[in-house]
Amino acid sequence: MINVSRYVALVILISLFLSYAKAMYWQLDSIFLRYYNNTLEDYVDKKLNNVSFLVSKMDKNKPTVFYIHGFTENAENESVTTVVCAYLQRNDHNILIVDYRNISKLQYLEVVLAARFVGQALAQALNKMVLAGLNSEKLHIVSHSLGLDPAGPIFNFLKSHLSSTDARFVDIIHTDYGLYGTLRTGIVDFFPNGGHRLQPDCPQGSPFLSLGDFCSHRRSWKYYAESLINESSFMAVKCSSYHKFLAGNCNGNIEIPMGFATPINAKGTFYLTINTGSLFGLKSLERCMDLIKNRATEDSYSSL
């Protein structure tokens, strides 16, 4: 019987060696930040080597959020624009997108290996922005396949996956736990509907790697977007297991909101139930989302 862990580790080591030879093709210098002003169509793009300029455009009194897209995606994908729309509706944040599209469209294993380099490049850019006046005490980094249902394949075997020690506060929304989502590694881990597939309104029996197959994985950013509009949308109960949660054994335990309004002093594992058809129809986002649907996009990549 093949030892899967050893086989995967061997593949990773070989690919890691090859990745260094391909480093020049990862085009780290193509990564850019997209800063939004007041609308989805009003933005400024700047390469990472010229990001200090963006600080001058920011409102120093507002917190700043950086949103990082997932595998195969870019700043025009639905997972990004939906979250941006929600933040724009709030009108209380400086909003920036980290776009690494030329890297995210590579083969999955290549993107996994490149992730560390993308992170290092972003860290250097953030340091420059802090020196230019960005308030690091009011900084929030959000990402699909990193902080919202973190990517599981390959990352589960690496030390570089998202960890509770990566920031002052790390909270994770698990919606495809154990398959395309990773293990619990946050200070707070949320498990809506147990954190696994199938999430509400996701199809059964979808072909492997199809859009339907990724439906549950994609629910994490949809839940987060809704939490930006209605902070009390998803109240979660602290509990040691989903079985105990369903049995009512955790009734009366501490209850906190999942998503944007999660208190930064919270710790532990939280469960909640989300019913079919209970979200994704945010009236306050309709106008913004119409802009997305009507916009012609030159670059089109399938999103996971």
Alpha-carbon separation of residue 115 from 155, 166, 193 (angstroms): 10, 14, 29
Half-sphere exposure (CA, 13 Å, Cβ side) for 228?
A: 24
Whole-number mean pLDDT of the chain? 81
Long-range interactions of 81-84: CB distance < 8 A, separation 24+: 81/40, 81/289, 81/292, 82/221, 82/222, 82/225, 82/285, 82/289, 82/292, 83/142, 83/221, 83/224, 83/225, 83/228, 84/36, 84/40
Alpha-carbon separation of residue 156 from 41, 149, 151, 220 (angstroms): 37, 13, 8, 18
Residues 203-217 have pLDDT tens digits of 676 555 555 567 888
**What is the amino acid identity at position 234?**
F
pLDDT given for residue 302 in this prediction:
34
The answer to whether residue 296 scores a pLDDT higher than 50 is no
Q: Is 162 helix (H, G, I), strand (E, B) or coil?
A: coil
Residues 251-281 have pLDDT tens digits of 999 999 999 999 999 999 999 998 766 554 4
pLDDT given for residue 5 in this prediction:
65
pLDDT given for residue 301 in this prediction:
36
The answer to whether residue 40 scores a pLDDT higher than 80 is yes
Contacts of 168 (CB under 8 A, 6+ apart): 264
Distance CA 284, CA 287 (A): 7
The pTM (predicted TM-score) of the whole model is 0.81
Q: In this structure, what token pair is assigned to residue 96?
A: 């920036």
Residues 113-131 have pLDDT tens digits of 778 888 889 999 999 999 9
Q: Ranked by mean pLDDT, which of 17-26, 31-40, 155-164, 173-182 comes out on top?
A: 31-40
The answer to whether residue 60 scores a pLDDT higher than 70 is yes
Rounded mean pLDDT of 93-102?
A: 95
- Percent of the chain past pLDDT 90, that is, above it, reads 46
Distance CA 68, CA 92 (A): 19
Q: Of 194 and 301, which is predicted with more confidence?
A: 194
pLDDT given for residue 211 in this prediction:
59
Q: What is the DSSP string of 204-242?
A: SSPPTTSTTTTHHHHHHHHHHHHHHH-TTS-EEEE-S-H
Q: Ranked by mean pLDDT, which of 8-12, 194-198, 224-228 comes out on top?
A: 224-228
pLDDT given for residue 162 in this prediction:
76
pLDDT given for residue 298 in this prediction:
39
Between β-strands 64-68 and 94-99, what pairing exists: parallel, antiparallel or unpaired?
parallel
